[in-house]
Amino acid sequence: MLLSNMELLATAPSGVAKLRELILTLAVQGKLVPQDPADEPAGVLLQKIQAEKDRLIAEGKSKRDKPLEEIAEEEKPFELPVGWEWVRLGSVMSLAYGSALPEKERLPGSIPVYGSNGIVGFHASALVSEPSLIVGRKGSVGAINISLVPFWPIDTSYFVTPPSGIELHFAFHLLRSLGLAKHDKATAIPGINRNDVYAEIVGLPPLAEQSRIVTRVEALMRLCDALEAKGQLEAAQHAQLVSTLLGTLTASTTPEELAAHWQRVAQHFDLLLDRPEAIDALEQTLLQLAVRGLLVPQDPTDEPASALLQKIRAEKDRLIATGQIKQGKPLPPITDEEKPFELPVGWEWVRINDLAEVQGGIQKTQLRTPVKQHFPYLRVANVQRDALRLEEIERFELTMEELERWRLIAGDLLIVEGNGSAEEIGRCAVWTGAIDPCVYQNHLIRVRCFQQDCMAFIKLFLNAPSGAEEMKRLAITTSGLYNLSVGKIRNYAVPMAPLAEQSRIVTRVTALRRLCADLRHRLAEREAVQARLAGALVASVA
């Protein structure tokens, strides 16, 4: 049943990882291989293990451990097969620090201890020279390996010594099935306590059955490896196909050429859009086509962008004359190197400073701690790419003059000025007026258009691939943080379409993004069905 459904299970979300967990679960419950009545039962095996422990204690080679609690009936998680026995892990295995190993079991010489940056020191004591189980006890807690490598950092690991009655590789799979990281006490330094591990309750099979279980587990894990490799290969091939086909769209130079390329892509929609990252790539492609003027047809009767820019200039001059904004320094003409693509007839390249007032936000200091007169403010976390997250809003202490200066109004564009990720720098969203009054922190930059009807198109360009890429290029890196300045945003060049065409583009993009959202929803529903089916199969096997 398990083998016949492995490929189906592997296609479910996180399917291969769940398959590996299922295989281990079945193995330690005695459901992976049949029992053989001729096997010496585990009860006899336990007697031999105890006799071996008593002999080592009598010879002074081992110390007697503290007695472990008896296993109560209610502690037993499942029914064991005939011939198996319940035991506490500490009664059949011992965990030792490397420094506690007997002298004759150590390798000669000093052993290097490795850290994240190479060798960080040397240890006089070393690892056993025979294959051993090693369990991470600090840092990467619960990591388990079978090792003969003499360079293991012994101060962060336990060495597990199974008795002769427990097959080494079975012990390995048994420990993996327990998920020992659950014993991490979440202190400043992650770590697991040996006594917690010793208290674990496990089923012990006959020795002969242990070997059969190991053989079966390792065969099934190799199948999982093959399924995983196949999935990775298919994912890479799929990503290449998506990139190639969508790349033909963005390479289009005319609406007619785009239409021809689109027909080719549309023939492969079922194949292309069968995973979330492909839908994301399609959406980014649509945004790029939109801001290049290839998504909707041009109308020769539209008033050209040059006439729109004259009106915007007149409004800016009026605001300067009435003292509502300051006269800034003139900016240089836009060079050909600054233009990432050729514009359609009737469009113009223009700097943001000629379209809008650009202003930084309020610096957070102790003086801003809310006391009497405080107001909501937006942080970087509140402004995502083309979305606002307003669930958690903090507050600033402000004077009424400061509130007036930094108060947001609906239609303001907010740009992230600093971020640790190059991919997130410059992300922006339009303020909706959902909270009023509201101001913004200095890690955000406000752009207030003189012609509010242009804001939706400007935001579209800034969040499209070419706009986001230019933001990344302009950012300054200091100590891993990417920064934009108010001056660079003012100097930023954006394409400006005729106002009527801007409206058509924004409407079209909104409709197409809704379709993308619908595709994601359908895909999520399909994956949920796959997950439920996989769960039902797992339940029937287990």
Helix (H) or strand (E) holding 60: none
pLDDT score recorded for residue 140: 61
- Does position 348 have pLDDT exceeding 90, yes or no? yes
pLDDT score recorded for residue 125: 44
Higher pLDDT, 95 or 37: 37
Q: Which stretches does DSSP call E strand in 280-355? A: 348-351
Sheet holding 439-440, edge to edge: 394-397, 374-378, 439-440
- Residue pLDDT, tens place only, 248-273: 777 777 777 777 777 767 666 666 67
Q: Which stretches does DSSP call E strand in 196-334? A: 201-204
Q: Which two tokens stand for residue 235?
A: 């994912």
| Whether the predicted model's global pTM rises above the 0.85 cut | no
- Given phi > 0 = left and psi -120 to 50 = alpha, else beta, which region is 83? left
- Residue pLDDT, tens place only, 194-226: 788 888 899 999 999 999 999 988 888 888 888
Per residue, the 3-state secondary structure of 142-168, as one string, reads CCEEEECCCCCCHHHEEEEECCCCCCH
The percent of residues in the chain predicted with pLDDT above 90, rounded, is 32
Of 52-56, 102-106, 405-409, the range with the lowest mean pLDDT is: 102-106
pLDDT score recorded for residue 115: 41
Distance from C-alpha of 377 to C-alpha of 442, rounded to nearest angstrom = 10
pLDDT, mean of residues 361-382: 90
Distance from C-alpha of 225 to C-alpha of 54, rounded to nearest angstrom = 42
pLDDT score recorded for residue 537: 56
- Residue pLDDT, tens place only, 169-189: 898 888 888 887 777 766 666
pLDDT band at 113 (very low <50, low <70, confident <90, very high): very low
